[in-house]
Structure 1
Amino acid sequence: MGLTSRDSIFEQAKEWVYEAGENIRSNMYNQLTIETKSNANDLVTELDKKIEKFFAEKIRGLYSNHRIIGEEGYGDDVHSLEGTIWIIDPIDGTMNFVHQKRNFAISVGIYHDGIGQIGIIYDVMDDVLYTAVKGEGAYKNNQKLPQLNKDVVLEKSIIAMNSYIGFNDQRINTDKIKELIAVSRGTRSYGSAALEFAFVAEGIIDAYVSLSLAPWDIAAGMILVEEVGGITTTAQGDKVNLLEKSPILTCNQEIFTTLTKDYIEIK
């Protein structure tokens, strides 16, 4: 992906994201069909599907050689990260969308040969657009975000995590998580992985950990966090595989070693 084509793709992707956001706002109060997927709390609406289909049709119409990884079934059967791949979550935080009509986002990450080039996260209801282009920094509504604070220590950090992590989850050492909750300044749960990544990039939370995130949950956010000096790995500290679900940690690098060594112990 050359610099000229990347800039053009970035501008086109932003245009589509804004159009999709307006589509959501215009239709969200209509009577929606709500279905469940892997469990009773894993929700999907017809609007999730409609928005992903919108992106898929736009991408295939303009970039026929690009491939798509999507949550709702309109993507391609992707087994490698070669070439240019769009990784899309049309509504990240569907439960928030259904129950609260806020605190959800459109997430679009664009990768070329496995390297993140463009990340876009759009907080639809607050009309806040987070963007990043590799090597050019990260932005919030066109205001450049500063590099993350290098003086952060765990005792003064706010950690985002799903609330169930500390309660008898067999995948993780919950005693260590309870210690983390006690030693940190505070914990939060926003219900949208994309927004939690954006908040790490913005520096308003210092880390986010989740035990199972899919590529579409993290693809855009990883690019934003990297552009401000943060780090994203599996919760064990390994490189993320964007073709599978993983336990994920994204954080300020200053607390990464402490978190992975002393508190996040995956069984």
Structure 2
Amino acid sequence: MDSKARRYLFEKAKEFVYEAGQRIKEQIDQPRTIETKSNPNDLVTEMDQNTEKFFAESIRNEFPEHRLFGEEGFGDDIQDLKGIVWIVDPIDGTMNFVHQKRNFAISVGVYEDGVGEIGVIYDVMGGALYSAIRGEGAYKNDLPLRMPEKKRIEETILALNTSWLIPENPHINHAGVAELVKTIRSTRSYGSAALEFVYVAEGIIDGYLTMTLMPWDIAAGKIIVNEAGGLVTTADGRELDMLNKTTVLASHIDIHKEIVENYVQLKTK
């Protein structure tokens, strides 16, 4: 993809995101149809489904040769990332959307042959658009994002789910997480992976550690964090699998290796 094609694709991605966001805002106070998926806390609404359907139709009308990798069933059967693939989460933070009517985002990553080219995350109710084009930096609205040059582990604010501190959790040794929490300055949990990624890029938090994300949760945020100077890998420091569920550590580069080597011990299944 040449720079002109990439720029056009970026502008269309923003156009789709803004329109989808406007549709959500216009209907935010309407009664919701709420269903559960994998567990009682894994919620989906008709707004998630309608928003993904909007992206599917918009992408296919404008770019019929592109494919869509989505959460709600309106995309293609994706077994690889050959060609150009849009990886879309129509509402990231559905529980926040249902309970708070805020703190959720639209997340769109565009990949070419497995390489992240464009990332767009829209904080719908906050009105902030976070974006990145590979090699051109990351932005919040029109302001460039760049993570602080230096960061010590003792000064770190880390986003993580408190369930990883429970001994019975199936993913990670809770003792290592407990030691990490004692070492850093503080923790946060925002309930939206997309927002947690962009908060890392913005420097609001210094890292985000989680055990169970899908590609649509990651695709845009990974590009934006990388372009802001951060590092995104699995929780144990490996390259991400962009086709399947995975662990994630997105953080300032100074603390990344220390967290992986000193505090993360994943459980074997």
Q: Normalization by structure 2: what TM-score?
A: 0.98
Match in the other structure for 2:46: 46
For the pair 1:60 / 2:45, whether they are aligned, the reply is: no
Aligned to 1:226: 226
Quick check: 1:75 aligned with 2:75? yes
- Asked if 1:163 is matched to 2:123, the reply is no
Query: Hey, what's the Cα distance between the residues in 1 that align with 2:58 and 2:130?
Result: 21
Q: After the TM superposition, which parts of structure 1 deviate over 3 Å for at least 4 consecutive aligned residues?
A: none
Q: Structure 2 counterpart of 1:196, which letter?
A: E
Amino acid at match of 1:261: E
Query: After superposition, where does 1:72-111 map in structure 2 within 5 Å?
Result: 72-111=72-111
Unpaired segments of 5 or more residues in structure 1?
none
Cα shift at 1:203: 1.2
1:206 paired residue number: 206
- Secondary structure of the residue that 1:209 maps to in structure 2? strand
In the alignment, which residue of structure 1 is the partner of 2:30? Answer: 30
Partners in 1 of 2:162 and 2:64 — Cα distance? 41
Residue range with higher mean Cα deviation, 221-230 or 36-45: 221-230
Deviation at 1:151, TM superposition (A): 1.7
Distance 2:101 2:165 in 1: 27
The Cα shift of 1:208 comes to 0.2
Match of 2:195 in 1: 195
Equivalent residue runs for 1:106-255 within 5 Å: 106-146=106-146, 148-168=147-167, 169-255=169-255
1:130-180 superposed Cα distances (whole Å, 9 cap, x missing partner)? 00001110000111112x223201100000011211112132110110111
Find the residue that maps to 1:44 and give its secondary structure.
strand
What is the deviation of 1:103?
Answer: 0.4
SS in 2 for 1:15: helix
Give me the whole-angstrom Cα distance separating, in 1, the residues matched to 2:87 and 2:241.
13
SS in structure 1 of the partner of residue 59 of structure 2: helix
Work out whether 1:258 is the aligned partner of 2:261.
Answer: no
Q: Secondary structure at the match of 1:175?
A: helix
Q: Quick one: distance in 2 between partners of 1:96 and 1:117?
A: 28
Secondary structure of 1:35's counterpart equals strand
Write the letter of the residue equivalent to 1:102: R
**Residue 29 of structure 1, CA deviation:** 1.1
Q: Which amino acid aligns with 1:30?
A: Q
2:154 is paired with a residue whose SS is: helix
- Look up the SS of the partner of 2:130 in the other structure: strand
After superposition, the C-alpha distances for 1:17-45 in whole angstroms (9 at most, x for unaligned) are 01100100111211110000000000000
How many angstroms does 1:228 deviate by? Answer: 1.4
Residue 245 of structure 1, CA deviation: 0.5
* Matched AA of 2:240: V
